[in-house]
Chains A and B, each alone.
Chain A
Amino acid sequence: MTDTDAPGAVEPASGDADPAADHARRAVAAVWRIESARIVATLTRFVGDVGQAEDLAQEALVEALRQWPAEGVPNKPGAWLTAVAKRRAIDGWRRRERLDERYAALARDLEQQGAEASDTFWDPDTIDDDILRLIFVSCHPVLSREAQIALTLRIVGGLGSEEIARAFLVPTATVQQRIVRAKKTLAAAKVPFEVPEPNEYAARLASVLQVLYLIFNEGYLPAAGDEWVRPDVSAEALRLSRMVAGLMPREPEAQSLVALMEFTASRFAARTARDGTPIPLDEQDRSRWDRAQIGRGQAALARADAIGRGRGAYGLQAAIAECHAVAPSVDDTDWARIVLLYEALGRLAPSPVVDLNRAVAVAMSTGPASALRIVDELVANGRLAGYAPLPAVRGELLRRLGRTSEARSELETAARLTGNEQERASLLAKIAALAPPAPPAD
């Protein structure tokens, strides 16, 4: 029972002999997706352990699958599931004859309150706090990044192991192992069910946002595998980020991350051709960008700014993404502003990749010569050695400066370094389009 999957993890039962049962199963899955975080959060406060809380919630879910098809979905399905799970918890303690004082008190309470117990337990303000605690526990630093991601999707997002496995292109058993191990790690480390203390709050919030952004990028960046599943991964990351932003309305970086994801996701439809070939930004059909989504990104960024604590790394990246999102074309993009934003980002979160991006923006804004100076510095300090985009950008700048033979050699290096076949093809095409090399002097 410890790793029963959410019903959403099961493929729609196309060959199911009983359509009524199938319908009930789908209804249960829908309720689970909406309620599971609240249920697990509430139960965690009740039993004091996330792993056990999740197991109990899953058991209640199995019970729902048994009862709801016949009796219909109850009026307050979340409260129903919570009540069943709590009764299970008490039964379990009794069975194991570990009915110590605390448990006895809890059991008495529950029995006294009877049917209304679930309602009194269902205080929306407390639940919001509980979900926030749950998010911080799922992203706790005692866990590996993989475990944080799996646990967040499972416990906060309500996804099944199979869905998570499909999203991350790993076997289901691996995901199940990660989740089981993560729960054990949390229990062994006696991780408290709480939002971190003020002195570690910022670091932990950054970690939560980073986990969500990693999940988002897993869906966004082109990689091998089933392309249809992956926009769903980004959509789930976006939903969870909106959730975090909703729970933490005073955190500008949480709002900014939502903005960044909205802007980025608005290009989903335009960034791959029908055959899956990636389409670079300057060739994307901007009429296919999702205007409503861009509008939501702007609203989220405005909320972040309204808090008045300045822009963090996500805020700056969101602002850059906004410049692209509102520009009618590559030429009409406010490249000068993007350069400034990259400069600010480079001061806040120094990274050679940020410098390379800034160089590209500089090339668009003031020309290839000044951009080349930035790129040459990056080459000199060697921190991006072996990183294909560096020679690709340098080659392009040299080509624009008419230094054809140097450009050729850089583009060839880039083509050799890139692991992406599409990228290699486009680099080779660019090389072929260069003026032929001068005949060797004899």
Chain B
Amino acid sequence: MKYMLIMRSNDQAVEDYENLDFTEVIAAMGAYNESLIKAGVLLGGEGLSDAKEGFVVDFDSTPPVITDGPYGETKELFNGFWIIQASSPEEAAEWAKRCPLGPGSKLEVRRVNELEDFPQDNEWIQKEAGWRAEAEGRLSAANPAE
């Protein structure tokens, strides 16, 4: 199972964070990331730059409207994410608990959908398979290891 750990912090926490010793922050996060790597569970992750650089595409109207500042209306900033491999929700929770974050921060833990989660008889999935079915007549033993 794949899980996404989504880092969210409120304005106050972000401000507090900026006042912390940056090398300490880097060291704590670095150690956490290293522990994920050494356990073989880290699949990916990125930190996000200042929310001011971002924008939002709002689908309330057609065509969608682009507005600046993704978090104009909310207090919780989405700052970055990790994707990890875990064998259970509890294991994902255990890893999340070890993240070096403080008050005002939250980690949202979401399971990443796998292909099996989608209806396999979906028209578009089948159509896609049809487009590729022209492989007929080719050497089917293209990879005997298959």
How many Å from the CB of A266 to the closest CB on chain B?
Answer: 11
Interchain CA distance A430-B141 in the complex, whole Å: 12
Q: Specify which chain B residues have a CB less than 8 angstroms from the CB of A242 in the assembled complex.
A: 37, 40-42
Is B38 touching A246 in the complex (CB atoms < 8 A)? yes
- Give the contacts of B56-107 with A (CB-CB under 8 A): 83, 85, 87-88, 90-91, 93-95
Interface residues on A, range: 35 or more
The answer to the question of B19 belonging to the interface, with a C-beta cut-off of 8 Å to chain A, is: no
Q: Chain B CB within 10 Å — which of A34, A392, A426 has the most?
A: A34
Is B38 touching A128 in the complex (CB atoms < 8 A)? yes
Chain A 238-272 against B: per-residue CB contact (8 Å), 1 yes, 0 no? 11111100110000000000000000000001010
How many Å from the CB of A88 to the closest CB on chain B?
Answer: 23
Interchain CA distance A274-B132 in the complex, whole Å: 17
Q: Chain A CB within 10 Å — which of B90, B115, B120 has the most?
A: B90
The answer to the question of B20 belonging to the interface, with a C-beta cut-off of 8 Å to chain A, is: no
Q: Which residue of A lies closest to B129 (CB)?
A: A285
Q: Chain A CB within 10 Å — which of B44, B114, B138 has the most?
A: B138
Is B144 touching A356 in the complex (CB atoms < 8 A)? yes
Q: Specify which chain B residues have a CB less than 8 angstroms from the CB of A246 in the assembled complex.
A: 37-38, 40
Q: Specify which chain A residues have a CB less than 8 angstroms from the CB of B53 in the assembled complex.
A: none
Chain A 262-288 against B: per-residue CB contact (8 Å), 1 yes, 0 no? 000000010100100010111111111
How many Å from the CB of A283 to the closest CB on chain B?
Answer: 5
Q: Specify which chain B residues have a CB less than 8 angstroms from the CB of A400 in the assembled complex.
A: 139
Q: Specify which chain B residues have a CB less than 8 angstroms from the CB of A357 in the assembled complex.
A: 143-145
The answer to the question of B146 belonging to the interface, with a C-beta cut-off of 8 Å to chain A, is: yes
The answer to the question of B122 belonging to the interface, with a C-beta cut-off of 8 Å to chain A, is: no
The answer to the question of B26 belonging to the interface, with a C-beta cut-off of 8 Å to chain A, is: no
Is A280 touching B91 in the complex (CB atoms < 8 A)? no
Interchain CA distance A241-B41 in the complex, whole Å: 10
Is B90 touching A30 in the complex (CB atoms < 8 A)? yes
Interchain CA distance A397-B69 in the complex, whole Å: 62
Known: A239-B85, A269-B114, A287-B132. A27 touches B94 (CB 8 A): yes
Interchain CA distance A147-B133 in the complex, whole Å: 44
Is B141 touching A392 in the complex (CB atoms < 8 A)? yes
Is A281 touching B40 in the complex (CB atoms < 8 A)? no
Is B141 touching A296 in the complex (CB atoms < 8 A)? no
Q: Specify which chain B residues have a CB less than 8 angstroms from the CB of A27 in the assembled complex.
A: 90, 93-94
The answer to the question of B15 belonging to the interface, with a C-beta cut-off of 8 Å to chain A, is: no
Interchain CA distance A364-B115 in the complex, whole Å: 30
Is B138 touching A330 in the complex (CB atoms < 8 A)? yes
Is B146 touching A243 in the complex (CB atoms < 8 A)? no
Chain B 24-54 against A: per-residue CB contact (8 Å), 1 yes, 0 no? 0000000100010111111110000000000
Q: Specify which chain B residues have a CB less than 8 angstroms from the CB of A286 in the assembled complex.
A: 132
Interchain CA distance A329-B91 in the complex, whole Å: 38
The answer to the question of A33 belonging to the interface, with a C-beta cut-off of 8 Å to chain B, is: yes
How many Å from the CB of A227 to the closest CB on chain B?
Answer: 11
Can you offer 14 A-B residue contacts whose CB atoms are under 8 A? Answer: A27-B90, A27-B93, A29-B90, A30-B88, A236-B87, A243-B40, A246-B38, A280-B140, A296-B43, A329-B132, A356-B144, A396-B139, A426-B140, A430-B140
